[in-house]
Chain A
């Protein structure tokens, strides 16, 4: 009991510290660093959404670029082509992400395990194909540029704070979700689908709902990304984006909420710093992935948990 209380207190302190850092640090660093931090938050939302499926429910998706990209393209098209406002673009982006996610889920949920991964990947390639080839709508290879933020959040730092509020809200909702009745069923499905069915759960329906939540929040990340970048291109929807999201979750620790945020932060900072020295940032990222899979298969959070358990055992023994 006491250990549990201490752990909860530790968690609250850690969250407060990270939040304090996220609020205060932009005031003391240059604009480039604020941009990098903003990227961490947006990718963090995408990684969190993916983790709901990958880490909590055990559904490995290699296609989250599709839902991210749908949100992004819907935003860009609404804003640049139709001159929609920030709010209007948001509504359309979320609806578009919901529709695309629902269609993909209906197809992908017929399979599981590695077949599920392949199908999500194939579906994402379809979305990429649309972005790349549907010139009149998406601008083809050139993408869509000139998406302006509303005046009040035009400057880098205001938009950063806006993103921070959204990310904190997502984190809060997810932490309530994973501890809820429904959240426990996600873990139950990861642990044993056949047992869940035998207990009376409609596993398909639960997976569909989780897929929808995950897709919607990925779309939200895409929406934020477009207003951050003021530009969208097929590269945002390609395999590398899906893979990066997967890497962030694996790196930080699947099945935890801190993990994806930690993973996205490390990834973004690394990506930006490596890019200064070499064009082969993907090679570096690939090597990191191999090291993580070999030495910390549960990610950094899993590694920390292991160390803590060992320390506890040493104390007790």
Chain B
């Protein structure tokens, strides 16, 4: 409900607009005055070497970190100080670089918890999640789409890293977000597993806006239209991916000398 009314009133605003965002940890400037505009339906990548400030930047957009200064807007609304869970209600979802699931619960329970997160019934103390048919159906549909349905009763911590990464994405997708923040979705995966995740992400609704942190250049190039390159907390290039690849500074800092 909330999501729809929101789109109606701010249909023309950029999906995500970041202005002068900065984060200081004591004397360390992790992110320094970063601007970013992501249009509706755009797929935007953020790349950069380790310690470039990508995840810090990402966590400020997701709401896990408070920026030192700067603003974050989602569909025209200032969400800079909005707590994480309120952002999710506005249509934002995220994955984690370091797998962050409910390890002692079954795969089904993991997805069910995600599927009821925006429902009022999450406060029900008498009924089970499974008895809410539409929540169960939502979870089942998502799990079938990712071929996870057959392992619904397995405990997540017993699964391979590859499967856990897929569940990571399933939890973010099950609420059908409008903006998906992906923090290194292929971290730690074998090339074959990584290709599977890329294929999965490419198949998603083209209307869905995506912001992707990637370490792997090939993965980034396959998934996104535009790239932003960060280095030591600053943006050193931002634009169409081919342009960024040709950029001299980027080649020196990130891609290395050929």
Contact = CB atoms under 8 A, between A and B. Distances in A.
Interface of A: 176-177, 179-185, 187-188, 191-192, 194-203, 209
B118 interface: yes
B121 to A, nearest CB: 5
Contact of A199 (B114, B128, B129): B114
Contacts of A196: 113, 117
8 pairs of A and B residues whose beta carbons are closest in the complex: A200-B88, A191-B102, A199-B117, A200-B117, A197-B84, A181-B124, A195-B100, A182-B125
Contact of A181 (B63, B89, B93, B116): B116
B139 to A, nearest CB: 12
Contact of B113 (A176, A197, A199, A203): A199
Contact of A200 (B85, B101, B125): B85
Contact of B128 (A179, A187, A203): A179
A201 B124 contact: no
20 contacts: A177-B125, A181-B122, A181-B125, A181-B132, A187-B105, A188-B102, A188-B105, A188-B113, A191-B102, A191-B103, A197-B64, A198-B62, A198-B64, A198-B85, A198-B94, A199-B85, A200-B89, A200-B117, A201-B85, A201-B122
B162 to A, nearest CB: 19
Nearest to A185: B122
Interface in B61-116: 62-64, 83-85, 88-89, 93-94, 96, 100-105, 109, 112-114, 116
B113 A185 contact: yes
B85 A197 contact: yes
A191 B117 contact: no
B101 A195 contact: yes
B129 A181 contact: yes
Contacts of B62: 198
B235 interface: no
A194 B125 contact: no
A202 B128 CA distance: 19
A223 to B, nearest CB: 22
Contacts of B123: 181-182, 209
Nearest to A202: B85
Contacts of A194: 64, 96, 100
A192 B100 contact: yes
Contacts of A199: 85, 88, 113-114, 117, 171, 175
A181 B136 CA distance: 12
B103 A184 contact: no
Nearest to B122: A181
A196 B105 CA distance: 14
Interface in B124-175: 124-129, 132, 171-172, 175
A253 B206 CA distance: 49
B250 to A, nearest CB: 31
Contacts of A185: 113, 122
A130 B122 CA distance: 38
Nearest to B102: A191
A188 B93 CA distance: 17
